[in-house]
């Protein structure tokens, strides 16, 4: 074979090999036809919150009033679930502060939440005695505490003793007893004037827990009753959680005539046991049990011993309120009371409104911005809450601070009377669902 022929053959083989290794060309796709009309736009992805705002939820979560704390926490969670625990670029977190119904334990737990957990604000609580202790902790660390549930007049007195120092106790959810006690007096006086009731004597016995709330409530009620000619024949106190009341009942049975009985407690076991023992022993009194319905399942404990009993407490009177109650029951498996879960839900949503306003106004959420909005807008009556399920409007003004405005257009507790586990409003007149009924044994 000739040399030139050999070279030609090699060249052909190399070119063939290179061709087989080259990438296969792909066809260029034809442009898509355009469609007339508006085109879909990409939906922006919401960035995850990059900052944290932490709330200390204060209540008794163990101990004799733990049932109330459970309702508060569950309602709190439901309110924040509705906003996905987010305000602006802040993720809302919370820690529970369990006072166990004891002021000294409340102080220790609260300081732990401030120092260890770095809470920005405190929220809620129940006992007035705990409120009194925590006011100093809140002031010490400059932690604004919103809507404390303790309402004793001693809290108002402490605030007024140094308004600047105690301004961090950012408003009470419940007004002082001077406001709450009077409706009972108005009601019984109207019943006597109309001839509905003819008591053998205007005598009354006051029974309550040994706490700031009960003592200031009794003081206010006693003053109002004595102005109307009533005589207070007993003013007795027992330790929180007491369920053995027979010695005290025996003492009352020795009185003649037997008086109207006013019971004030902050826990269900004490109230329920007292009413059952009154019925069992045949103590023939007209009974006022303030706070009997503060938790939703009171009737399962008290039964018909609650018939004829008077109470001053909010009710599920609107469709929105009843819808919340039903949703709460379905989710948590317990029935809330309006004074427990209902008020806590409204208070939490008011708090959310304050949080959103602080973010809108200052672009930051912390103790300082929340304090400023509370002082500048909430306490001056500019920032109120009107979307609640129980009250028409939650509103503070300088004249009432640290209390809310109390009247039929704002915050008010109606007086109700129980029969068969159901309470009917008997005061005020504009809301009345039934007339006051006096048991035959109290005539």
pLDDT of residue 22: 41
Confidence of residue 421 (pLDDT cuts 50, 70, 90): very high
pLDDT in tens, 354-398: 999 999 999 999 999 999 999 999 999 999 999 999 999 999 999
Q: CA 229 to CA 211: how far, in whole Å?
A: 27
Tell me the pLDDT band of 28, cut-offs 50, 70 and 90: very low
Band (442; pLDDT cuts 50, 70, 90): confident
pLDDT band at 47 (very low <50, low <70, confident <90, very high): low
CA 253 to chain centre: 38
Determine contact, residues 241/271, Cβ cutoff 8 Å.
no
pTM over 0.85? The answer is: no
pLDDT at residue 325, rounded to an integer = 97
Instruction: Identify whether the C-beta of residue 302 lies closer than 8 Å to the C-beta of residue 272.
Output: yes
What whole-number distance in Å separates Cα of residue 363 and Cα of residue 389? 29
| CA 265 – CA 250 distance, rounded (Å) | 20
Q: Are 179 and 312 in contact (CB under 8 A)?
A: no
Q: What is the pLDDT of residue 293?
A: 87
Pairing between β-strand 86-87 and β-strand 90-98 as defined by DSSP bridges: antiparallel
Is the CB of residue 396 less than 8 Å from the CB of residue 404?
yes
Q: Which residue, among 141, 94, 144, has the nearest Cα to 114 in the 3D structure?
A: 141
Check residues 118 and 270 and name the one with the higher pLDDT: 118
> Do the Cβ atoms of 283 and 258 come closer than 8 Å?
yes
What is the chain's mean pLDDT, rounded? 88
Helix H, strand E, coil C: the string for the chain is CCHHHHHHHHHHHHHHHHHHHCCCCCCCCCCCCCCCCCCCCCCCCCCCCCEEEEEEEEECCCCCCHHHHHHHHHHHHHHHHCCCCEECCEEEEEEEEECCCCHHHHHHHHHHHHHCCCCCEEECCCCHHHHHHHHHHHHHHCCCEEEECCCCHHHHHHHHHCCCHHHHEEEECCCCHHHHCHHHHHHHHHHHHCCCCCCCCCEEEEEEECCHHHHHHHHHHHHHHHHCCCEEEEEEEECCCCCCCHHHHHHHHCCCCCCEEEEECCCHHHHHHHHHHHHHHCCCCCEEEECHHHCCCHHHHHHHHHCCCEEECCCCCCHHHHHHHHHHHHHHCCCCCHHHHHHHHHHHHHHHHHHHHHHHHHCCCCHHHHHHHHHHHHCCCCCCECCCCCCCCECCCCCCCCCCCECCCCECCCEEEEECCEEEEEECHHHCCCCCCCCHHHC
**Contact present, 204 and 259 (Cβ < 8 Å):** yes
Q: Please name the residues in contact with 399: beta carbons below 8 A apart, sequence gap of 6 or more.
A: none
pLDDT of residue 46: 52
* pLDDT over 60 (residue 9): no
Q: Which residues contact 274 (CB under 8 A, 6 or more apart)?
A: 207, 245, 263, 265, 289
Q: Which CATH architecture has domain 51-176+319-378?
A: 3-Layer(aba) Sandwich (3.40)
Q: Domain 179-316+412-442: give its CATH architecture.
A: 3-Layer(aba) Sandwich (3.40)
- Tokens 């009974």 -> residue: 287
CB atoms within 10 A of CB 338: 24
- Of 15-24, 77-86, 329-338, least confident by mean pLDDT is 15-24
pLDDT tens digits for range 201-247: 999 999 999 988 899 899 999 999 999 999 999 999 999 889 999 99
pLDDT bin (cut points 50, 70, 90) of residue 8 is very low
Q: What angle is formed at CA 311 by the lines to CA 305 and CA 316, rounded to 5 degrees? A: 105
231 burial (CB, 10 Å; 0-12 / 13-18 / 19+) is: exposed
Which residues make up the CATH 3.40.50.2300 domain(s) of the chain?
51-176+319-378, 179-316+412-442
Main-chain phi, psi angles of 282, to 5 degrees: 75, 30
């Amino acid at each position: 074979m000739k040399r030139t022929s050999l070279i030609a053959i090699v060249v052909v083989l190399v070119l063939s090999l290179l061709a087989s290794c080259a990438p296969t060309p792909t066809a260029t796709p034809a442009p898509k036809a355009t469609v007339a009309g508006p085109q879909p736009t990409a939906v922006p992805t919401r960035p995850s919150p990059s900052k944290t705002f932490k709330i200390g939820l204060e209540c008794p979560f163990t101990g004799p009033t733990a049932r109330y704390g459970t309702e508060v926490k569950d309602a709190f969670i439901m309110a924040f679930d509705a906003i996905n625990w987010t305000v602006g670029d802040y993720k809302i977190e919370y820690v529970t502060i369990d006072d166990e119904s004891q002021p000294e334990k409340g102080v220790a737990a609260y300081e732990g939440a401030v120092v260890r957990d770095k809470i920005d604000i405190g929220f809620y609580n129940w006992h007035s005695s705990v409120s009194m202790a925590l006011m100093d902790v809140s002031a010490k660390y400059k932690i604004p505490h919103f809507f404390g549930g303790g309402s004793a007049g001693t809290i108002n007195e402490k605030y007024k003793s140094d308004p600047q120092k105690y301004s961090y106790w950012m408003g009470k959810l419940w007004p002082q007893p001077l406001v709450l006690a009077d409706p009972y007096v108005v009601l019984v006086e109207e019943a006597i004037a109309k001839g509905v009731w003819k008591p053998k004597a205007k005598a009354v016995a006051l029974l309550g827990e040994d706490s700031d709330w009960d003592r200031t409530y009794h003081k206010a009620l006693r003053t109002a009753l004595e102005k109307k000619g009533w005589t207070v024949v007993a003013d007795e106190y027992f330790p929180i959680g007491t369920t053995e009341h027979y010695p005290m009942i025996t003492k009352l049975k020795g009185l003649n005539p037997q008086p109207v009985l006013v019971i004030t407690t902050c826990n269900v076991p004490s109230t329920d046991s007292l009413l059952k023992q009154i019925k069992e022993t045949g103590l023939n009194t007209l009974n006022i049990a303030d706070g009997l319905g503060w938790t939703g399942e009171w009737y399962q404990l008290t039964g018909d011993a609650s018939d004829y009993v008077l109470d001053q407490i909010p009710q599920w009177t609107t469709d929105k309120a009843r819808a919340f109650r039903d949703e709460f029951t379905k989710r948590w498996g317990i029935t809330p009371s309006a004074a427990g879960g209902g008020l806590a839900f409204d208070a939490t949503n008011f708090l959310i409104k304050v949080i959103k306003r602080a973010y809108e106004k200052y672009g930051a959420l912390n103790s300082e911005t929340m304090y400023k909005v509370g002082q500048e807008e909430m306490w001056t009556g500019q920032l109120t809450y009107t979307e609640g399920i129980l009250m028409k409007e939650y509103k503070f003004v300088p004249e009432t601070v640290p209390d809310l405005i109390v009247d039929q257009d704002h915050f008010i507790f109606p007086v109700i009377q129980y029969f068969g586990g159901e309470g009917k409003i008997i005061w005020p007149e504009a809301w009345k669902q039934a007339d006051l009924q006096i048991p035959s044994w109290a005539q």
